[in-house]
């Protein structure tokens, strides 16, 4: 079995990944380096970053394709990000995750967060072995909304949880 296979529907549970862990991360870590953040407002990464920024998270875009995203300076890699890293939120393919995790560990990050559909078991174990907290195959925006009552961009309880912005 490869270390980066796509999750099967309903199999998003990983040992130690629970509501207490997720809530704790969302409450205590407000600096988020978003690796793979897109400047395209229709991409899930942009929507998640906008939401998190609106809720007081300090967002640092990391993507070599851009100089700026959402009016924020964008860095080409984690090594270029000034200051301490707290959460490294990964919007990249699963096979890209091990290198990102290695950089995050070396730079002293506290949390690795792999977005929906991003599953890399070996990278998860590497991060856990280094003492980092790890969330995998979950969207930070969706999890924040789940625990803070904002089920969509307007904050209304629609019962629909999505990481995608509706195209107008």
Alpha carbons 93 and 108: distance in angstroms, whole number: 22
List the chain residues with pLDDT less than 50. 1, 8-10, 154-160, 168
Predicted TM-score (pTM) of the model is 0.84
pLDDT for the residue 157: 47
DSSP string over 56-110: T-EEEEE-TT-SEETTEE-BSSGGGS-S---EEEE-S-GGGHHHHHHHHHHTT-S
Residues comprising the chain, all counted: 168
| 37, 41, 47, 53: CA torsion to nearest 10 | 80
pLDDT for the residue 15: 85
Domain ranges of the chain: 19-148
Q: What's CA 157's distance to the chain center, in Å?
A: 23
Alpha carbons 26 and 9: distance in angstroms, whole number: 25
Q: Look up the CATH architecture of domain 19-148.
A: 3-Layer(aba) Sandwich (3.40)
pLDDT for the residue 16: 87
Identify whether the C-beta of residue 79 lies closer than 8 Å to the C-beta of residue 103: yes
């Amino acid at each position: 079995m490869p270390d980066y296979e796509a999750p099967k529907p309903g199999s998003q549970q990983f040992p130690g990944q629970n509501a207490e862990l997720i809530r704790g991360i969302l409450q205590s870590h407000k600096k988020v380096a978003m690796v793979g953040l897109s400047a395209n407002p229709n991409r899930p990464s942009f929507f998640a970053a906008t939401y998190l920024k609106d809720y007081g998270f300090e967002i640092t875009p990391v993507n070599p394709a851009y100089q700026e995203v959402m009016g924020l300076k964008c860095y080409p890699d984690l090594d270029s990000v000034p200051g301490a890293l707290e959460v490294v939120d990964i919007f990249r393919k699963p096979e890209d995750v091990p290198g990102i995790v290695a950089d995050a560990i070396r730079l002293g990050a506290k949390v690795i967060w792999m977005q929906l559909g991003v599953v890399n078991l070996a990278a998860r174990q590497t991060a856990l072995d280094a003492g980092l907290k790890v969330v995998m195959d979950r969207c930070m925006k969706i999890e924040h909304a789940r625990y803070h009552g904002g089920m969509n961009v307007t904050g209304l309880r629609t019962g629909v949880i999505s990481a995608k912005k509706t195209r107008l």
